Every structure is written in structure tokens, then in C-alpha cells.
Amino acid sequence: MDIPILYEDEHVFVINKPSGIVVNRAESVKEETVQDWAAPNVLRDGFVPATDNEKVFVERAGIVHRIDKETSGCLIIAKTVTAFTDIQRQFKERIVKKTYLAIVHGHLVPESGEIRAPVGRLPWNRERFGILPGGKDAVTKYTVMRTGNSHKTDISLVALYPETGRTHQIRVHVKYINHSIIGDWQYAGRKTARADRLWAPRVMLHAWKVAFMHPDHHTELAIEAPVPDDMKSII
């Protein structure tokens, strides 16, 4: 696979994951994944994991976190068990800072704010998430960068700053405030998503920036993934 590398040293990769590629292997996934690409670049021949951390590192081929198949952008992959453990800790302690770009329906008012609502898996549809009273705490801050109209639809370019990392958090949160992401086949509604897909080929969400402390020399590493062409053309 042609996966652009945004940063690399002996401890860590940061890649620019293209849209359409699944991050982790699964029985339901038949195509090549980021994990398949990462394994030969990360795992040493003959390495036999002994500790729980080493086993998880090998099982995930160093992939520290995930982004959805149709989402593009920054993804961190550790090259060593030490780096993997340290960056995992940073995610848990909310040291890692992420910025996403999304093109959403409508014009947000106010133009900056915070969405605070618990996210959980829907009991009646295990593939989808939603705002549930018993869900996990989730917080997303946002800022509108630009507004406009495309294909007779009001749209906004929004920067989003998730302070927690729940599955589908951004997609669920913007849907919750009635500004679903353009092309989101799971959360925008079937009719809306079908109309979107006539001019927007995927979920218009991009993991734009990530910042974390380098696992070896402990200085901040800030990486930015260029905005992909399919989003640029709409912007």
C-alpha cells in the first residue's frame, strides 16, 4: 500500500492514513489493512513477547490508536514496546492533543463551543454509537473556520478538538447538535447521506493534527497531515 509517512525515527511512525483503508485486521475485513503494512516495518523477526504489554504491542503491530476506515489523516504507530506503552499512557492521561477537520451540514451557532454528552454503543444496533445516559463521558470542542454553500446545501468547515477518544465520538457529537458530517452514511440519515454521496465521496472527516510527547526525549512532537484533495475541492 502507498501510505505516506509524515514522521519517522527509531521509536515511532506518524502516517497519513488514506481514506478507504481499515486500520486493524478483523475477520470481516478482506482487504489489506494498516496493520498488515505496519507489521513488517515494526516487528522484529524472532521476537517472542513475554509480558502483557509486549503481547498487545505484537497483536496490534505497534498501532496505538484508531481512526475510521473513511477518515483520513494522522495515525501514530510505535516501533518499540517502550514507545507503545508510553504513548498509550499519554492517550489515557489526555496528553495527546488531536485536531480534526470536518465538513458538516449547516452553519453552526455559536461559531465556537463545546459538546459534552456521553457516548455509548446502541443496544439495538451494535455497529452504531449514540448519546446514551449510561455512555462514557465525552467532550469535543469546535471552531468554525469557514461557511458556505455547495450543491444547494449550507455547509461549514469545522476544526474539532476531541478531549476524549470514544469510538465515533466526533461523528456522534456533531449529529447530536444537528450538524452531521457530509457523507456520513451511519449518522447523517440514509436520505441525506445518499444525496451527499453524489458530490462528496466519503465521510468528510480528516485527522489533521496530532501533538504528543516523544517517548524517548520527551519533547513535544507536533505533526500535521495535508488536507486531502477530495476535501480541498469542496473547501
197-210 per-position pLDDT tens digit: 999 999 999 999 99
**Domain containing residue 209:** 5-234
pTM for the model stands at 0.94
pLDDT per residue of the chain (235 residues) written in tens, 0 to 9: 889 999 999 999 999 999 999 999 888 888 999 999 999 888 877 777 888 889 999 999 999 999 999 999 999 999 999 999 999 999 999 999 999 999 999 999 999 999 999 999 999 888 899 999 989 999 999 999 999 999 999 999 999 999 999 999 999 999 999 999 999 999 999 999 999 999 999 999 999 999 999 999 999 999 999 999 999 999 9
How many independent structural domains does the chain possess?
1
Grid cell locating 159: 476544526
* Residue 132, domain CATH: 3.30.2350.10
Task: Supply the residues annotated as catalytic.
Answer: 68
Q: Which long-range contacts (CB under 8 A, 24 or more apart) does 197-204 make?
A: 198/151, 199/150, 199/151, 199/234, 200/103, 200/230, 200/234, 201/230, 202/19, 202/20, 202/70, 202/230, 203/68, 203/70, 203/71, 203/171, 204/102, 204/103, 204/104, 204/230, 204/231, 204/234
Look at residue 231 and give its three-state secondary structure. helix
Distances (CA, A) of 142 to 14, 17, 134, 196, 211: 24, 23, 24, 22, 17
